[in-house]
Amino acid sequence: MSSLKEIKTHMESVRETRKITNAMYLIASTKLQKARSELDHTRPYFESMQAEIKRIFRSAAEGVDSRYFYPEEGQQAVTGTYGCLVITADKGLAGAYNQNVLREAQHLLDQHPDTKLFVVGEYGRHYFAQRRIPIERSFLYTAQNPTMARAREIGSLLLDGYDRGELKKIFVIYTDMESALSSQARSTRLLPFHRSYFAGSEKTEKAVREPFTFSPSVAKVLEAVVPSYMSGYIYSALVDSFCCEQNARMTAMDAATKNAEKLLGELSLQYDRVRQAAITQEITEISAGAKAQRLKHRKEA
């Protein structure tokens, strides 16, 4: 059984840890409020933009010959090098947030080894470096402050590789915050488009009363729209991932704080029992000593 000093030292250590986890919980909670506010302002815009792109190209997608579309049925399938943007956090202590993203990335690498990785977040860089998995480009700025300028830089780099033919498909792996209580790591293909991408339900979209006129051509308009679509989607993914990271860290730190409180209760009970046992032992020793002294005096008398 541990001594009183050891238990007391352990309790002090747990109290200090509880202070840290509680502080991290409060910080993550504050960041989450800001991130959710930004997400609420960001997501509707890019969802509307995607809907408008689909609405514009629905009537023309069938006849368009563009590198941004999958080949028609019967033509050669898309093969070659993939490009994958992996969005992780800069640090851990966020539950399974980083592990879920990296599991999706590893799954893509297992299916298609010829994949170039573009990584955002120190945790992802460290993970791939430990396993000696080459990284094509590591964006060294922090994942804590997503901006549209950074999204444009990433989107431009990926799109440039796609336009030159170095990348045949572009994926982005990030964490989507489905609700306040649930989030999920997603692997989404940004390019090329399936033509079915533009075949949606017209009931949920604004009706097209007059046919669109594309100048100089549908393919040229598509080339002008795709960079905005790429940077917009990547920015939305960065904000979404940052929001999920703070939510996961807040949940993890709240659970750690509760576990610390539970452990403190158990240690306090153990401390009281050991202390009571020590007191009882001292009383027993004193009583035994007093009894021995009385017996000694009786014999001497």
User: In terms of pLDDT, which residue wins out, 126 or 4?
Assistant: 126
Structure confidence at residue 207 (pLDDT): 59
Q: Six-digit token pair at 142?
A: 């922090």
Q: Is 198 helix (H, G, I), strand (E, B) or coil?
A: helix
Task: Express each pLDDT in 194-214 by its tens digit.
Answer: 766 665 555 555 655 666 677
Length of the chain: 301
Question: Which strand (E) or helix (H) includes residue 101?
Answer: helix 97-111
Structure confidence at residue 59 (pLDDT): 60
Structure confidence at residue 172 (pLDDT): 92
Strand partners, 222: none
Q: Which long-range contacts (CB under 8 A, 24 or more apart) does 132-139 make?
A: 133/109, 136/83
Please report, as a single letter, which amino acid is at residue 291. Answer: K
Task: Express each pLDDT in 131-168 by its tens digit.
Answer: 898 988 888 766 677 888 888 889 899 999 988 888 88
pTM of the model: 0.78
Whether residue 128 is predicted with pLDDT greater than 80 in this model: the reply is: yes
Cis peptide before 216 (omega within 30 of 0): yes
Cα 254 to Cα 14, 176, 247, distances in angstroms:
15, 21, 11
Whether residue 85 is predicted with pLDDT greater than 90 in this model: the reply is: yes
Cis peptide before 192 (omega within 30 of 0): yes
**Could you tell me the pLDDT band of residue 182, with boundaries at 50, 70 and 90?**
confident
Q: Is 138 helix (H, G, I), strand (E, B) or coil?
A: strand
- Region of 34 (left: φ > 0; alpha: ψ -120 to 50; beta: rest) is alpha
Question: Which strand (E) or helix (H) includes residue 231?
Answer: helix 218-300
- Whole-number Å distance between alpha carbons of 217 and 200: 22
